[in-house]
A and B are shown apart, each in its own frame.
Chain A
Amino acid sequence: MSPLQASRLLLRKDVAELERLAGWIEGFTRQGASPDVSFAVQLCLEEAVANIIMYGGAKDDPIEIAVELERNGTTLVARIEDNGRQFDPTHAPPPAPAASLAEAKVGDLGIHLMRSFASGMDYERRDGLNRLTFRFVEPPEQLP
Chain B
Amino acid sequence: MDMSVDDLAGGITRVALRGRFDTTGAVVVELPFNKLVTEKRKIIVDLSAVNFLASYGIRVLLVGAKIVNGKGGSLVILCPDNNVAKVLKTAGMDALIPIHQTEATAMAALAS
Binding site for B on A (CB under 8 A): 15-16, 18-19, 22, 35-36, 39, 42-43, 46-47, 50, 95, 97-98, 100-102, 104, 106-107, 109-110, 112-113, 116-117
Contact = CB atoms under 8 A, between A and B. Distances in A.
Closest 6 CB pairs of A and B: A110-B55, A109-B55, A39-B83, A116-B90, A101-B96, A46-B54
| Chain B interface, >50% SS class | helix
9 contacts: A15-B24, A43-B52, A46-B23, A50-B23, A101-B65, A101-B97, A106-B62, A106-B66, A110-B54
Given A36-B83, A113-B87, A46 B63 contact: no
Contacts of B92: 95, 97-98
Nearest to A104: B96
A35 B52 CA distance: 11
Interface string B70-100: 1000000000000100010011100111000
A43 B54 contact: yes
B27 A46 contact: no
B20 A113 contact: no
Given A46-B23, A47-B54, A112 B91 contact: yes
Interface of B: 20, 22-24, 27, 52, 54-56, 58-59, 62-63, 65-66, 69-70, 83, 87, 90-92, 95-97
B83 A104 contact: no
A106 to B, nearest CB: 6
Contacts of A116: 90
- SS class, residues of chain A in contact with chain B: helix
B39 to A, nearest CB: 19
A47 B57 CA distance: 11
Contacts of B27: 15
A39 B96 contact: no
A100 B91 contact: no
Contacts of A106: 59, 62-63, 66
Contacts of A22: 20, 22, 24
A22 B59 CA distance: 20
A36 B17 CA distance: 21
Contacts of A16: 24
